[in-house]
A = this chain, B = another copy of it.
Amino acid sequence: MKVLIIEDDPLHRSYLNEAVRAALPECDGVLEAENGNAGERLARDCKSAHVVMDLQMSERNGIEAARTIWKERPETRILFWSNYSDEAYVRGVSRIVPMGAVYGYVLKSASDDRLKLALRSIFIESQCVIDREVRGMQQKSLGNINGFTEAEYEILVDIALGLTDRAIAQRRNLSVRSVQNRLQQLYIKLGVYQPLGGQSDDGRFNLRARAVAVALLRKLLNHSALERAEADLSAWLARQPHN
């Protein structure tokens, strides 16, 4: 059994290395990669390795890397070890985990023991381990109590990328009016909506831009989510007849 560590911070990398060796004495090899690209390559070479990785790395972000790793070998077990439990990350991860895959998500702020326990649970016992806090986010986002549906999230991303209503309609196969409906919906859920008569904030805000702002502030969106979305977008644009 081998373990592949993908983490760009050298300190954290060596800490992880140590933790893995301590928690998994039956492990007979620890590989290290300092960014997503290198990680993918190593994962390709060394089939059958388990993976523990950071989200948010400079070269190629963790979610991208995980996606390609899982695409090539869906039964790979991955433990995500991240600083943040931003909704953007949690949603990003749960969006790409293959059916029935074993994975984990623990925060860097967790204790030593917790990390080691997670390592054993996932790699030995085949059991998913998700930190309480992260779990919380998942509930909130999937069960839609105060959370966002897929449709709403999608349109949020679209306006965050700067698309017009028309472009969104085209991309999502909707009428322009439907797009606007979803936007209204989104504005309401984000608490940005201006109830007609209510002149509390006399048109100070551009709803579209404001929605993006609060989404960012609430960490519903973050840089890496935007990067992924931008990549998808330009792929779609390329595929589009040049109008």
Task: Give residues in A with beta carbon < 8 Å to B.
Answer: 9, 11-12, 15, 83, 108, 159-164, 166-167, 192, 199, 201-214, 216-217, 219, 222-223, 226-227, 230, 237, 243
How far, in whole Å, are A167 and B12 apart by their CA atoms in the complex? 45
Q: Are B164 and A206 in contact (CB under 8 A)?
A: yes
How far, in whole Å, are A94 and B231 apart by their CA atoms in the complex? 32
> Given A204-B167, A223-B219, is A162 in contact with B211 using a C-beta cutoff of 8 Å?
yes
Residues of B within 8 A of A222 (CB): 223
Which 4 pairs show the lowest CB-CB distances between chains A and B? Answer: A162-B210, A162-B209, A167-B204, A162-B213
Q: Are A164 and B226 in contact (CB under 8 A)?
A: no
Distance in angstroms from A190 CB to nearest chain B CB is: 10
Q: Are B223 and A160 in contact (CB under 8 A)?
A: no
How far, in whole Å, are A226 and B237 apart by their CA atoms in the complex? 29
Residues of B within 8 A of A199 (CB): 243
Residues of B within 8 A of A210 (CB): 161-163
Residues of B within 8 A of A15 (CB): 11
Q: Are B243 and A202 in contact (CB under 8 A)?
A: yes
Residues of B within 8 A of A202 (CB): 243
A9's closest neighbor in chain B, by CB?
A: B108
A86's closest neighbor in chain B, by CB?
A: B223
How far, in whole Å, are A84 and B222 apart by their CA atoms in the complex? 15
Q: Are B230 and A226 in contact (CB under 8 A)?
A: no
Q: Are A205 and B12 in contact (CB under 8 A)?
A: no
> Given A222-B223, A226-B217, is A163 in contact with B9 using a C-beta cutoff of 8 Å?
no
> Given A11-B12, A108-B9, A226-B216, is A167 in contact with B209 using a C-beta cutoff of 8 Å?
no
Distance in angstroms from A236 CB to nearest chain B CB is: 11
A166's closest neighbor in chain B, by CB?
A: B203
A10's closest neighbor in chain B, by CB?
A: B109
Q: Are B206 and A163 in contact (CB under 8 A)?
A: yes
Q: Are A164 and B203 in contact (CB under 8 A)?
A: yes
Residues of B within 8 A of A12 (CB): 11
> Given A12-B11, A206-B208, is A213 in contact with B160 using a C-beta cutoff of 8 Å?
yes
